[in-house]
Structure 1
Amino acid sequence: MFKNKTNNQEYKSGKSRTMERNVIAKNSTFVGEITSDGDFRIDGILEGTLKTKGKVIIGVDGFIKGTIEATNAEIEGKFSGQLSIANILTIKATANISGDIVVGKLSIEPGATFNASCAMKGALKELNKTNETKQASEKTA
């Protein structure tokens, strides 16, 4: 009855004006797999997998047990599992992290608990290039 044609057309074409932020609120528990292009803020509990092209924020009261794949992340709460961040992972002083982590860049504030194995993508690429160069020069020598 009161439909806006431009908004309806944007919805049908798959184009939106702004990126949405999804929230799992405090005192909420979600179990399962989430896939999205938008940002996420977790103030409750998530057990499972979260895949997004956006940013993931785990609030002070938030807890994720499982797997996260995202472009950027900021953690103030608890995380346990496998974390794969393409760009920057920021770990705040209140954070408690355990598991396996692969990041592009890492920032950890003093006071954070960080009990994880960590690999940096940029460092791995540079190390592989260095090894390939050494092997090539050894073959020609």
Structure 2
Amino acid sequence: MFSDNKKDKKAYENSSSQNIIAKGTNIVGDFSSEGDLRIDGTIEGNLTTPGKIVVGKSGVIKGTLNGSDAYFEGKFSGNLTLTGTLTLKSSAHIEGEVVLGKLEVEPGATFNVNCVMKGALKELNNSNTSQNLKKGRSA
């Protein structure tokens, strides 16, 4: 019934790398995870993960979110900081302060925020520097 097989153990570790907050679940307070998150319930507070965050249509986050990449179909209000890409599907509703690397928005999504794109600014500065160097000018 129970096995010490390394293959079984590895499969178990891989299957537990995503956490799911199911519809109807409400979490109030600070929440952190080392793995990816799927949120179909409600979180009010500070949420931190180095992994990917997926917020389903019934998912709601109110507070602070820090992570790498996020995919939203649901709602968010507060401070959102991502090192990677924020993807908004048509049903997404985002309000607050946003700092991110890249942004993908489907038509129909609501994006009422103050937004800073850190990654785009870095790429733009590097692009201008290389263009100026090709023309024989300094940056």
Q: CA deviation at 1:17?
A: 4.5
- CA–CA distance in structure 1, aligned partners of residues 42 and 16 of structure 2: 23
- CA–CA distance in structure 2, aligned partners of residues 96 and 127 of structure 1: 28
Whether 1:53 and 2:50 are equivalent positions in the alignment is yes
Q: Is the Cα contact below 8 Å between 1:33 and 1:48 reproduced in 2?
A: yes
Distance 1:19 1:103, change over 3 A: farther
Q: What is the TM-score with the length of structure 1 in the denominator?
A: 0.78
Whether 1:31 and 2:28 are equivalent positions in the alignment is yes
Structure 2 equivalent of residue 101 of structure 1? 98
Structure 2 equivalent of residue 63 of structure 1? 60
Q: Is the Cα contact below 8 Å between 1:40 and 1:55 reproduced in 2?
A: yes
Structure 1 equivalent of residue 116 of structure 2? 119
Structure 1: 5+ residue runs without aligned partners?
A: none
Q: CA deviation at 1:115?
A: 0.4
Q: CA deviation at 1:50?
A: 1.1
- CA–CA distance in structure 2, aligned partners of residues 17 and 43 of structure 1: 21
Q: CA deviation at 1:123?
A: 3.0
Distance 1:47 1:123, change over 3 A: same
Q: Is the Cα contact below 8 Å between 1:19 and 1:39 reproduced in 2?
A: no
- CA–CA distance in structure 2, aligned partners of residues 34 and 6 of structure 1: 33
Deviations 1:113-138 (A, max 9, x none): 110011111233356777xx9xxx79
Structure 2: 5+ residue runs without aligned partners?
A: 133-137
Structure 1 equivalent of residue 135 of structure 2? none
Structure 1 equivalent of residue 77 of structure 2? 80
Q: How does 1:14-29 map to 2 (within 5 A)?
A: 16-17=13-14, 20-29=17-26
Paired residue total: 127
Q: Is the Cα contact below 8 Å between 2:102 and 2:120 reproduced in 1?
A: no
Aligned Cα RMSD in Å?
2.4
Distance 1:124 1:44, change over 3 A: same
Q: Is the Cα contact below 8 Å between 1:38 and 1:53 reproduced in 2?
A: yes
Q: What is the TM-score with the length of structure 2 in the denominator?
A: 0.79
Letter of the 1:91 partner, please give it. Answer: L
